[in-house]
Amino acid sequence: MAVKKGDMVRVVREKLENSLEAKASDPLFPSYIFETQGEVIDTKGDYAFVKFGIVPTPNIWLKLDQLEPFK
């Protein structure tokens, strides 16, 4: 998937769980990253900086292959 700034995405649970990123942080991810749409704020290399929801939640860098278009 070619992700670009402004795209609406969600995280693919199967690709995030057991990834290097999951092993490097708390493995209990909040459900909103899988269930709500996030907006790609920036991309750099193989990563995208994603902002989720309208409520105050932390933005997160995720690998591009862990994201899919939000439908």
Residue 1 vs residue 16, higher pLDDT: 16
DSSP3 helix / strand / coil % (the chain, rounded to 5): 20, 35, 45
| Residues β-bridged to residue 58 | none
Of 30, 56, 50, give the one whose Cα is nearest residue 38.
50
What is the average pLDDT value for the chain, to the nearest integer? 89
- Report pLDDT digits (tens) over 42-64: 999 999 999 998 778 889 999 99
Print burial letters for 41-54: b (CB count within 10 Å at least 16), e (below 16).
eebeeebbbbebee
Side-by-side strand order, sheet with 38-44: 60-63, 47-52, 38-44, 8-11, 67-69
